């Protein structure tokens, strides 16, 4: 008896609060067909399930495959989750509670489904196919509206006793600091995410300081895209430069502390903020991370940008599903 992981096509789905991405991942791990839908987040679980099924079928059509030719479906979704049972325990962004997405999608498609946290799936995608290829111990942080993370030790995603470990956005980085979306104060996410940077720029503008982003902030109700932040940063807008640097320092501190605990071979930084701000931002994070790393005189621990962009989540979800459900005994 030998067990081998089948390399038949799998379907990966990245379910987010605003959009759904689906991709058929072939035996060589390339994307054979893809589709995209808006998430009907206000309409609740049934509408979301229907949108996922439609999106999946469109991706299959693009790949010229039938659902019966797919080994399994992997879904990456915001949590918290009951990974074993495939249930989204709750999601404020998607207006769902105890949503049995895994079982429901399996009934709708006739295929086995693995539901995993979206960021853990993204980290796994980077590990297998992106910036983490060739490494076994990885720390990944994705910086956007929030900050998500993924810890990989000896080639395995660390999910912990609860199935939800890896939430590096919610380590406390400043005692008594800004209130985080999770209810705690001073989380890394509350100090270093795009929302955190934007909020502080808005505050400075309201105090009367000049910023090239003032008009955009007012027009868009206090929200900014990563690209807009990057543009102001590269144009040396003083408040933007100050706040981006402050956020990068907090991120570097948090990562340095985690590096001391976990000793990864590589730290991968992804997400909209990292993609938009690029090397200048990475350098700021690198410098602070190294200052907070106890032992690494030769700088053997790398800190590199993610390589897969928006595809990381669906690729990681698909590969995790293949590994869980694609084992064939002969």
Residue by residue, DSSP assigns 4-66 as EE--S-EEEEEE-SSEEEEEEE-TTS-EEEEEEEE--GGG-HHHHHHHHHHHHHHHHHHTT--
Smallest distance, Zn ion to C-beta of residue 4, A:
41
Which residue of 20, 180, 255, 318 would you call a contact of Zn ion, by CB under 5 A?
180
Q: Residue 119: name the closest of 157, 83, 78, 87 by CA.
A: 78
Q: Toward Zn ion, which CB reaches closer, 182 or 235? A: 182
String marking each residue 181-220 x if it binds Zn ion according to CB under 5 A: -x-x--x---------------------------------
Q: Toward Zn ion, which CB reaches closer, 254 or 256? A: 254
Smallest distance, Zn ion to C-beta of residue 80, A:
13
Q: Toward Zn ion, which CB reaches closer, 137 or 178? A: 178
Beta strands in 179-324 (DSSP E): 266-270, 302-305
Smallest distance, Zn ion to C-beta of residue 186, A:
8
Question: Residues touching Zn ion: how many (CB under 5 A)?
Answer: 5
String marking each residue 157-176 x if it binds Zn ion according to CB under 5 A: -------------x------
| CA separation for the pair 122, 88 (Å, rounded) | 17
List 87's β-bridge partners, or say none. 82
3-state secondary structure of 140: strand
Smallest distance, Zn ion to C-beta of residue 148, A:
11
| CA separation for the pair 20, 196 (Å, rounded) | 25
Residues contributing to the site for Zn ion (CB under 5 A): 170, 180, 182, 184, 187
């Amino acid at each position: 008896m030998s067990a081998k992981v089948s390399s038949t096509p799998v379907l990966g789905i990245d379910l987010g609060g605003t959009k759904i991405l689906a991709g058929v991942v072939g035996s060589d791990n390339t994307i054979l067909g893809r589709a995209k839908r808006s998430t009907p987040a206000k309409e609740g679980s049934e509408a979301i399930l229907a949108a996922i099924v439609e999106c999946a079928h469109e991706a299959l059509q693009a790949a010229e495959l039938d659902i019966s030719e797919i080994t399994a479906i992997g879904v990456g979704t915001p949590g918290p989750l009951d990974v074993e049972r495939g249930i989204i325990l709750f999601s404020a962004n998607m207006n769902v509670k105890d949503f049995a997405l895994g079982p429901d999608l399996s009934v709708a498609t006739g295929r086995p489904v693995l539901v995993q946290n979206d960021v853990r799936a993204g980290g796994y995608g980077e590990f297998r196919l992106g910036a983490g290829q060739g490494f076994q111990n990885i720390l990944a942080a994705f910086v956007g509206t929030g900050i998500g993370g993924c810890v990989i030790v000896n080639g395995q995603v660390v999910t912990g006793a609860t199935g939800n470990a890896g939430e590096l956005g919610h380590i406390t980085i400043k005692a008594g600091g800004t209130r985080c979306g999770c209810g705690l104060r001073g989380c890394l996410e509350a100090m270093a995410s795009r929302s955190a940077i934007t909020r502080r720029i808005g505050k400075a503008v309201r105090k009367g300081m000049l910023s090239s982003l003032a008009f955009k902030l007012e027009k868009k109700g206090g929200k900014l895209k990563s690209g807009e932040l990057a543009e102001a940063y590269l144009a040396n807008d003083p408040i933007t430069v100050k706040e981006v640097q402050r956020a990068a320092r907090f991120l570097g501190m948090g990562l340095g502390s985690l590096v001391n605990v976990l000793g990864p071979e590589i730290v991968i930084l992804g997400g909209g903020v990292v993609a938009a701000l690029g090397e200048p931002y990475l350098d700021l994070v690198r410098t602070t991370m190294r200052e907070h790393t106890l032992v690494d005189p030769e700088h053997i621990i790398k800190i590199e940008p993610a390589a897969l962009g928006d595809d990381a989540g669906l690729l990681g979800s698909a590969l995790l599903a293949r590994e869980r459900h694609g084992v064939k005994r002969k």
